Amino acid sequence: MLEDRLDAKGRLIQAAMRFFAERGIAGVAMHEISAAAGNRNKSAIAYHFGGRDGLIRAIQDRFAAFLKPRFDRELSRLEGMRKDRYSIYEVGLAMNAPFFSLYASFDGDVVLRTMARLNHEHELGSGLYHDELISSFNRVEAIILAKVPGKSPGQLRFHLAHYLMATVNGLALTNRWAEENFRADPDLLFELMLSYNDYVAGGLGSTDGQRPAIDHAYWREAIAQPVTA
């Protein structure tokens, strides 16, 4: 995702992502980022980005610049097919593949951890809900609803939001698996993507009518009332 030769703004973005990935957004001072990027001037971030929020927007733009063309390629492929020629499993892979490609790129582990931090911590919104990416997610909704017309749009939005957040958070946590280096092994990374898609594709294709009968009153109460001694 990031080139070996970076300009001043690129070095600041790279340094910021490394700090954010390790310590979160609130735990990093802007002068630390400037120093790590090789700047003696503590106001380098203000000069290049107008401040912290501008830096974060630049990071989000970097995410979108990588992901958007990959979503365009995968979604255009599906949109060009008759709905009986593709599966919901393939729609899931079309959503997964850009993130796994990002993860496999230069510094991809840092990038995904930064994206996860932004999703949880920053008031501007997440690294996912960038204007450019929202248009891609809207296309995903249309593709799934064409394939599964019985799925309600509200249910689909819940499933897509969960899917996207879980993808980013899951890839951001792979460094916890000390015995596996997914980025170093393309076959292992591919199997990870398929295994993850095995789990989520069923939800994307499900409808309310496919749920088994349950005691709705009981389960509504279960989440509405605290357990007391």
20 within some domain: no
Those residues with Cβ within 8 angstroms of residue 56's Cβ, 6 or more apart along the chain or in another chain:
25, 118, 122, 124
What is the number of structural domains in the chain?
A: 1
49 within some domain: no
5 within some domain: no
pLDDT digits (tens, 9 = 90+) for 183-198: 889 999 999 999 989 8
pLDDT of res. 5: 54
Q: What is the pTM of this model?
A: 0.87
pLDDT digits (tens, 9 = 90+) for 27-45: 899 999 999 988 777 788 9
Helix ranges restricted to H, 122-224: 131-147, 153-172, 186-205, 216-224
pLDDT band at 225 (very low <50, low <70, confident <90, very high): confident
Range of the domain at 170: 60-209
In this structure, are residues 67 and 133 in contact, taking their beta carbons and an 8 Å threshold?
yes
Q: How many residues are there in the chain?
A: 229
127 within some domain: yes
100 within some domain: yes
158 within some domain: yes
Decide if pLDDT at 126 tops 80: no
223 within some domain: no
pLDDT band at 152 (very low <50, low <70, confident <90, very high): very high
What's 97's domain CATH number?
1.10.357
226 within some domain: no
